[in-house]
Structure 1
Amino acid sequence: MPHTMRAQRFYSATRTYAVEDVPVPEPGPGEVLVKVEFCGICHSDLSLINGTFPAQLPVVTQGHEASGTVAKLGPDVTGWREGDRVILAAGKPCLDCPNCRRADFSNCLRIRLMAFAYDGGWAEYTVGQAASLTRIPDNVPFEQAAILADAVSTPFGAVVRTGKVAVGESVGVWGVGGIGTHIVQLARLVGAAPIIAIDLNPAVRGRALELGADYAFDSRDEALQDKISEATAGRKLDVAFDAVGLKVTFEQALDSLTVGGRLVGVGMSAETPTIGMTAMFGLSKKQVLGHLGYQNVDIETLANLVSRGRLDLSRSISAVVPLEDIAHGIEMLEKQDGNPIRILVRP
């Protein structure tokens, strides 16, 4: 085991980052050290750098979608061996708030998020809780396994848990990038029909059709609401997912709902949308639901679906960059170079 490793370090005071030599962390009780194989670059990582998300630490290693192998066991860890292929969940419950005391860990009031409240996976090694690890099936590549820990599990949670999409319900997805693409695939997997993708980019709309959408419309189309109504036999949408988080996408998605429809907000920004007149909001019985993250068991469910060929993520890895070129990967995502679904870092 080396004493030092290469890791990206983000400095919140200056909003700058660099790849540096740092000590290899030591796993504590109930923890394991993981040698990172791949780690995704997510829009929330960019949001920390640009200041949309407030920093929680003066210096932190970013990256929260990591796969790798167990390199060392901390004290009292059982059930795992060195060399096991694993995915790390991207959060630690505080274990002390009222929800945690009720064993409702997924709704912890003071959840600590990987790459924000503690060091993440843009490094050669990272530490995770043994209880939060998921074993990777032998036939699932490390690349696809990495993105299960957010880029796919967050959409899964949005579709299955928050949106509660039922067989035959109509679904609209605003923004069909890294998160929205997987919302489309998972909505199709649970039997939604029709599925409508809405995006500015014609290439992205075409990709959405190939991956499971029944229709793909331009959000700037003045006839968008008419097209959604026509595609749903006049009912409009049962469930709308805003994977962008802008005021315009949120409000457009809300306007597209049928009576009693659900809007699930997944994308995030600093913008402030409205729900319009409260009288109309009440009369329409619409629901607006915020969504963040997933339950740890969701990663195992998704790994099983990928392993059995029920969920195809072969097109989800758009590029891989070495850790030393992390700046290039971040720039590719910022500029949407090549319309990426997910860009990975390989330490």
Structure 2
Amino acid sequence: MLAGRLHLKERALRMESVDVPEPGPEEVLIKVEAAGVCLSDVHLIEGGLTPRLLGGDVVTLGHETAGTIDRVGDRVEGWKPGDRVLLQAGQRDRLGTVYTRGVDYDGGWAEYTAARADTLVAIPDDLPFEQACIIPDAVSTPWAAITATAQVKAGDPVAVWGVGGLGAHAVQLLRLIGAAPVIAVDPLPAARERALAFGADFALDPGEAGRIRELTGGGLAVAFDFAGVPAVREQALTVLARGGKLILAGIANKPVTISSDSFFNYLKLSIHGHYGSDAEHVEELVRLARQKRLDLAGSISDVLPLADAPAAVERLQSREGNPIRLILRP
């Protein structure tokens, strides 16, 4: 079968012919129907991210995957060939260590992939694979940031810095749960237009961020950094209301600076790190999609053949077309 394999020593993505994986007793073989292309994949290829738990130096990329069950292992119950599923972006071992699909073990940039049965989530027949595959990570990461880390409540004034693949969904999900107003901040006019289309009440250039206190009547309950830029964090801290939270969902690999501890302490502000999501967040989003509360059609910027994975990576690197999510279809 064809697979997109990352050779870590050279940081080279190669489309290669490899054996179809044989599922273990507690695994299923998935015929991949759609796989997302994420900035994390780009960072792995470029060297900004390195697998911590990979047993070797070559891995099939792809942590956003959906497809149909082809075969089931001897000990698998409750699943059968033909079932439509998405795959959680990772799995835990018996000690609780989290292994990430497409990073620490082979992922979905392939015609087939093996998956442990407890990482499957059933998807409804009317949810396209292209939309289902992005729920783990592209949608579940901001959902977990909003509901678990930030614990946003209806009526909370919020702002999202960086309206890319994660930030665009954050805007959509914040509106879904009733945050108000929802403000987007991004230097790109196309990104600001997208934020308004996804439900933002206001979309500002970073140079206009001073308006946030006026637009919210005093400041933000929660600011989300999905850009991973130090200047964003510094700016967001200046427009938080008393008790406000800054959620670091973007990764800058840089120090977090508090310019004034007296201001920070007086307003009782807080900074929270956030990474990924848990299994229940993906399951919640699938239920919302099943009930037609969550529409991800606008998130699919383009669908390309699996063989064009290197071209998809180049498009994401150059931000050609300002994509939300590019999808690979075997």
Query: Does TM, scored on the shorter chain, surpass 0.5?
Result: yes
Equivalent AA in structure 1 for residue 248 of structure 2: G
The residue that corresponds to 2:216 in the other structure is 232
1:288-327 to structure 2, matched below 5 A, reads 288-327=271-310
Contact 2:225-2:249 within 8 A present in 1 as well: yes
Q: Which amino acid aligns with 1:26?
A: E
Partner secondary structure for residue 268 of structure 1: coil
1:307 is matched by which residue type in structure 2? R
1:78 corresponds to which letter in structure 2? E
Whether 2:188 is the aligned partner of 1:201: answer yes
SS at structure 1 position matched to 2:236: helix
Structure 1 residue 145: deviation in Å? 0.5
Local SS of the residue matching 1:185: helix
* Alpha carbons 1:52, 1:270 under 8 Å: kept: no
Aligned to 1:114: 101
Distance in 1 of aligned mates of 2:77 and 2:51:
34
Q: Indicate if the aligned counterparts of 2:32 and 2:66 stay in contact, CA closer than 8 A.
A: yes
- SS for the counterpart of 2:298 is coil
Cα deviation for residue 74 of structure 1 reads 1.4
Matched, 1:48 2:69: no
Q: Which residue pairs with 1:106 in the alignment? A: none
* Conservation of the 8 A alpha-carbon contact between 1:63 and 1:115: yes
Q: Scaled by the length of structure 1, what TM-score is found?
A: 0.91
Shift of 1:177: 1.1
What SS class does the counterpart of residue 18 from structure 2 fall into? strand
Identity rate, percent: 47
CA distance in 1, matches of 2:233, 2:31: 39
Q: How many residues align?
A: 327
Partner of 2:249: 266
Equivalent residues in 2 for 1:278-289, closer than 5 Å: 278-289=261-272
Matched letter for residue 333 of structure 1: L
Give the secondary structure class of the aligned counterpart of 2:281.
Answer: helix
Task: Say yes or no: does 1:176 pair with 2:176.
Answer: no
Verify: 1:38 aligned to 2:40, yes or no: no
Given candidates 136, 142, 153, the residue that maps to 1:166 is 153
Q: Which amino acid aligns with 1:230?
A: E
The equivalent residue for 1:29 is 25
Distance (whole Å) between structure 2 residues aligned to residue 310 and residue 43 of structure 1: 26
Letter in 2 for 1:33: L
Task: Please state if 1:76 is matched with 2:75.
Answer: yes
DSSP 3-state at the match of 2:171: helix
Please tell me whether the aligned partners of residues 12 and 55 of structure 1 are also in contact (alpha carbons under 8 angstroms).
Answer: no
Deviations 1:140-171 (A, max 9, x none): 11111011111111111111111110010001
Q: CA deviation at 1:264?
A: 1.0
Match for residue 14 of structure 1? 10
User: Using the alignment, how far apart are the partners of 2:267 and 2:94 within structure 1?
Assistant: 39
**1:144 aligns to 2:127 (yes or no):** no
Are the equivalent residues in 1 in contact too, given 2:65–2:87 (CA < 8 A)?
yes
Where 2:243 maps in the other structure, the secondary structure is: strand
Q: Alpha-carbon deviations, 1:203-248, whole Å to 9, x = none?
A: 11012112110000001x1x422x1011001x11101111111111
User: Which amino acid letter does the alignment assign opposite residue 28 of structure 1?
Assistant: G
Distance in 1 (CA, whole Å) between partners of 2:84 and 2:300 is 19
Q: What one-letter code is carried by the residue in structure 2 that aligns with 1:35?
A: K
* Aligned partner letter, 1:193: A
Asked whether the equivalents of residues 248 and 273 of structure 1 are also in contact (C-alpha less than 8 Å), the reply is: no
**Residues of 1 paired with 2:239 and 2:93: CA distance?**
38
1:107 alignment partner in structure 2? none
Residues of 1 paired with 2:2 and 2:240: CA distance? 48
- The two structures have a TM-score, normalised by structure 2, of 0.96
RMSD of the alignment, in Å? 1.2
Aligned mates of 1:215, 1:92 — CA distance in 2: 38
CA contact (8 A) 1:253 1:263 kept: yes
Unaligned stretches of 5+ in structure 1?
101-109
CA deviations 1:110-139 (Å, max 9, x no partner) are: 311111110110001111111111101111
Task: Say which SS state the counterpart of residue 40 (structure 1) adopts.
Answer: strand
Q: Is the 8 A contact 1:246 1:273 kept in 2?
A: no
Structure-2 separation of matches of 1:128 and 1:254: 42
From the superposition, tell whether residues 194 and 184 of structure 1 become closer, same or farther in structure 2 (CA, over 3 Å). Answer: same
**Distance in 2 of aligned mates of 1:230 and 1:280:** 19
SS of the counterpart of 2:169?
helix
Offset of residue 293 of structure 1: 1.4
